[in-house]
Amino acid sequence: MIVSSDQMTSAGGAGVTKDRILDAAERLFAEHGFQATSLRHITADAGVNLAAVNYHFQSKESLILAVLIRKLEPVNRRRLELLDELEARQGDSAASLEEVLRAFLQPVLEAKAAGVELAAFPRLLGRIYTEPGAWIEKLIPRVFGEVMGRFKAAFAAALPGAEPVEVAWRIHFAIGSMAHFLAAGKLLELISMGAADESDAAGALERLVVFTASGMRAMVWRNKETAG
């Protein structure tokens, strides 16, 4: 069914139409990439007309930004809340690496446990990072800028002796571990022959924190050993 402009502006209808467009856009961008997905593909999948997309988003660039913000903004807001609480408790002392990692990872696992669909999101972000276009350089700071700035400083304080570029490498690998868990839950089931439960959010969080912290510390140790 195609949604008319009258329906999309009716009470309650606008929100439903907007969500349908966002759902379709997220799915198609993840499957086919930003460049290969046209607005007409999205309108056909969502069952709306082009006027609805133009009414709510004005452009494809604005649409993909809205797709990202819808999922990432609540997670990032929670990350900053946890980091604020952690830094308030620590005062002038640096938080431990595990505590910083927990503040960074916990909101993602909370969202997943609450039923927020995140499995396609790492794939979508991968598409965005690898596709050409100056719009990406404007997009990423708007979505990740504040969170990445705060957490880079927290990770650096928790990893004394690590050069800034090495801290960046460690954050990069930490994000990779998190993304793999989100995108490849069924692989865990196959590897464990059904023994591991990827829906165990608390267990997954602790395993991710321990695994990632160990790797981040080992890289600092390796650098010092090489330098010596």
Q: Where in the chain is the domain with CATH 1.10.10.60?
A: 1-58
Q: Helical H runs in the chain?
A: 5-8, 13-32, 39-46, 50-57, 60-90, 97-113, 121-130, 134-158, 164-183, 185-191, 201-227
Residue entry with tokens 């139409």: 17
Q: What is the CATH number of domain 1-58?
A: 1.10.10.60
Share of the chain above pLDDT 90, in %: 49
Which of 93-102, 124-133, 177-186 is predicted most confidently? 93-102
What is the Cα–Cα distance from 187 to 193, expressed in whole angstroms?
Answer: 10
Residue 37, number of CB atoms within 10 A of its CB: 22
Predicted local confidence at residue 191, as pLDDT: 92
pLDDT, average across residues 23-48: 91
The winner for highest mean pLDDT among 32-41, 107-116, 202-211 is 202-211
What's the rounded Cα separation, in Å, for the pair 172 and 151?
Answer: 12
Q: How many residues does the chain have?
A: 228
Q: Hey, what CATH class is 71-227 in?
A: mainly alpha
What pLDDT does residue 42 have? 95
Q: Do 156 and 164 meet the contact criterion of CB atoms below 8 Å apart?
A: yes
Which residues make up the CATH 1.10.357.10 domain(s) of the chain?
A: 71-227
pLDDT of residue 142: 80
Q: What is the percent of the chain where pLDDT is above 70?
A: 86
What average pLDDT does range 170-187 have in this prediction?
87
Query: Is the pLDDT reported for residue 78 higher than 70?
Result: yes
Could you read off the pLDDT of 20-32 as tens digits, one per residue?
Answer: 999 999 999 888 8
- Residue 111 clears pLDDT 90, i.e. is over it: no
> What is the per-residue pLDDT across 140-168, written as a single tens digit (0 to 9) for each?
788 788 999 999 999 999 999 899 999 99
Across the range 63-72, mean pLDDT stands at 87
